[in-house]
């Protein structure tokens, strides 16, 4: 397949391009400098020229706290940019795979969120990503919306890298224990996305490594796998106030993966072990 990737320099985008090349696809990785999704004319020009079979739309405004005071910036990228990609994709008959987030939910459920549960984003970031979902659904006739959570990988900054650095430098650390979710390794997510866009199984999907944990348990696992032993102390969300509220529960059920007969992602601890062994 000929697959165009937006945000190809980002944490997920880089692995989507690499994994796609390994799978034998023709990967067209576009960075923000090469394809500014907020520029409709440029979007149209690039996509009409390349005529991809599918677009994996990784470009996004992901600065959760900054978005609280930069509403226009978040919506410009996550909503307007996504509209531009969807409109151009439709003109060449390309499938669109939009990467979304657990932040479209309010995080208050006691159960794992299913794909068709009502959304209720509580942050500007979450609301702008939900707007991107709605525009993708409204403008593309062949779309996949893939919500993921707690993403980490070899590229960019993430929780695992931060913990490895702090765990090696500090004797004691506090990590939040009252927020739960599912860590997601970019390589595993990239493999899933590439398998998904090769199908006609359109719709909304939740994709993360299987299982769940709290941030505290995630940090414990990181230190165990890396052979580090700082003192780890649990703390509450209230002890670490942030401009944008964090979801208490980010766990998402993989109902669509199961009902569409697709291969689920492996357990999060297994993926973490591979990431740490290969770094």
100, β-bridge pairs:
147
Tokens of 44: 């149209």
Please, what sign has the CA dihedral across residues 156, 5, 279, 150?
Answer: positive
pLDDT at residue 176 in the model:
96
Is the confidence at residue 214, as pLDDT, over 90? yes
Question: What's the pLDDT band for 240 if we cut at 50, 70, 90?
Answer: confident
**Domain extent listing, the chain:** 2-158+183-210+251-266
Is the confidence at residue 89, as pLDDT, over 90? yes
Q: How many CB atoms lie within 10 A of CB 24?
A: 8
pLDDT at residue 243 in the model:
94
Question: Is residue 138 exposed (0-12), middle (13-18) or buried (19+ Cβ within 10 Å)?
Answer: exposed
Q: What's the pLDDT tens digit per position in 134-177? A: 999 999 999 999 999 999 999 999 999 999 999 999 999 999 99
The question of whether 125 is a catalytic residue gets the answer yes
Sequence-distant (≥ 6) Cβ neighbours of residue 278 within 8 angstroms: 154
Q: What's the pLDDT tens digit per position in 68-87? A: 999 999 999 999 999 999 99
Give the predicted TM-score (pTM) of the model.
0.97
pLDDT at residue 46 in the model:
98
Question: What's the pLDDT band for 11 if we cut at 50, 70, 90?
Answer: very high
Residue located via tokens 């459920």: 109
Tokens of 68: 């609280």
Question: What's the pLDDT band for 9 if we cut at 50, 70, 90?
Answer: very high
Name the average pLDDT for the chain.
97
pLDDT at residue 51 in the model:
98
Question: What's the pLDDT band for 199 if we cut at 50, 70, 90?
Answer: very high
Q: What's the pLDDT tens digit per position in 98-127? A: 999 999 999 999 999 999 999 999 999 999
Alpha-carbon distance of 16 to 156, in angstroms, equals 14
Question: Is residue 270 exposed (0-12), middle (13-18) or buried (19+ Cβ within 10 Å)?
Answer: middle
Mean pLDDT, range 49-56, rounded to an integer: 98
CATH architecture of 2-158+183-210+251-266: 3-Layer(aba) Sandwich (3.40)
pLDDT at residue 64 in the model:
97
Is the confidence at residue 10, as pLDDT, over 90? yes
- The catalytic residue among 98, 125, 202, 205 is 125
Taking a C-beta distance cutoff of 8 angstroms, is the pair 147, 207 a contact?
Answer: yes
Mean pLDDT, range 263-267, rounded to an integer: 98
């Amino acid at each position: 397949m000929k697959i165009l990737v937006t945000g190809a320099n980002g944490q997920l985008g880089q692995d989507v391009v690499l994994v796609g090349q390994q799978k034998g696809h023709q990967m067209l990785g576009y960075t923000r400098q090469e394809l500014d999704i907020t520029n409709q004319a440029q979007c149209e020009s690039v996509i009409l020229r390349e005529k991809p079979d599918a677009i994996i739309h990784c470009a996004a405004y992901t600065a959760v706290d900054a978005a609280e005071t930069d509403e226009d910036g978040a919506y410009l990228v996550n909503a307007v940019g996504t509209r531009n990609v969807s409109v151009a994709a439709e003109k060449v008959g390309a499938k669109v795979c939009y990467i979304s987030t657990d932040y479209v939910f309010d995080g208050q459920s006691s159960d794992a969120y299913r794909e068709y549960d009502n959304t209720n984003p509580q942050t500007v970031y979450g609301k702008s990503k939900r707007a991107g979902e709605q525009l993708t659904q409204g403008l593309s006739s062949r779309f996949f919306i893939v919500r993921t959570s707690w993403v980490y990988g070899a590229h960019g900054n993430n929780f695992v890298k931060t913990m490895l650095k702090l765990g090696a430098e500090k004797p004691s650390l506090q990590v939040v224990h009252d927020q739960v979710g599912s860590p997601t390794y970019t390589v595993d997510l990239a493999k899933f996305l590439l398998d998904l866009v090769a199908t006609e199984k359109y719709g909304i999907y939740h994709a993360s490594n299987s299982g769940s944990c709290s941030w505290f348990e995630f940090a414990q696992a990181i230190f165990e796998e890396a052979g580090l032993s700082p003192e780890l102390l649990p703390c509450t969300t209230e002890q670490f106030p942030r401009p944008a509220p964090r979801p208490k529960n980010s766990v998402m059920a993989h109902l669509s993966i199961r009902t569409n007969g697709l291969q689920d992602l492996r357990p999060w601890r297994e993926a973490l072990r591979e990431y740490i062994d290969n770094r």
